[in-house]
Amino acid sequence: MLRDRIFRVAWEETGRRLDRVLRDRFPGLPARSVRFAFDAGAIRVGGIPAPKGRTLREGEVVSADALAEKEDWLPVPCDLPGASVAYEDAEVAVLCKPADVHTEPQRPNESGTLAGFLLRRFPGVTGISPEPGLTLLTRLDYATSGSVPAALTSSSLDFLRHEREMGRIVKGYLCMVRGEVAAPMSIPWEIRAEGGEAVRVLRGRDDPDPHRWTAIAPIRSGNGLTLLRATISRGKRHQIRAHLAAAGYPIVGDRRYSAVPASGPGKSRLMLHAAEVSFRHPATGETLRVSCPAPDEFGVT
């Protein structure tokens, strides 16, 4: 449940950062609860919203409104319009996520997430992970649609987490980009998190791990646009979006990495779809390849 907290800064806390004092005073509090509260301006010193790096003085009063406990971040079981199950057996499932849906809760007690849909369809996953959403093996951005595999047993979860670390869960995406891509290519540049939502691509500096590279191949081009397939394995956050933009082929509808607004019928969304995922089945060892149909706006039949 959400709880308010208030305390007076002790002498030994003088000069320390506010976020670190909060972490020490409330060690059981999820880090994302503190981040969420700072972003919402809900943590105050002397009644004034304070940044996380604010240094404290003895005697100051710190108040935090409605800090979320761990259970407040658990997925809420829900039906989810547009979501479906592309594959299931006793060990694994592959879900099809619609666009404009969070994979996991991004705020306390959030409903309408893919993790909540997983919980509604497969309630048994609550017994294999303290956080049911963690049985999802990949994460898609809010605006991205497509395939997300999930483990349904503890042994499958352990196996597939290892496969993920080894770069053996391969994801194929459909992207509509600006510019005409003439031939297949690989984008090897390193990606660095800069804080905040966006990432930075270090053009000319190759990532030493080839599993972090993005392979692209054109499907068709015309009118200054290309429909292409992008393949990644151990993908980083926003990898395909950032790599394509840095290569001069921003994804249509990408408001974060492209300065060009989306235009044309059906092009208001981010034109990125996780069309296919392949991995070794945890029980048989055979390669399982599952697809989620592309939305109509991609023009793929």
Task: Kindly list the catalytic residues.
Answer: 141
Q: Which two tokens stand for residue 288?
A: 């399982």
Q: CA-CA distances (angstroms) from residue 151 to 89, 95, 105, 140, 240? A: 10, 11, 18, 16, 24
Our CA angle for 104, 261, 142, nearest 5°, is: 5
Residue 8: name the closest of 78, 74, 63 by CA: 63
**Count of H helices and E strands in the chain?**
5, 15
Q: 175 burial class (0-12, 13-18, 19+ CB within 10 angstroms)?
A: buried
Residue 74: name the closest of 29, 37, 115, 23 by CA: 115
Residue 146: strand, helix, or coil: strand
DSSP 92-119: EEEEEEPSS--SS-SSTT--S-HHHHHH
Distance CA 300, CA 64 (A): 50
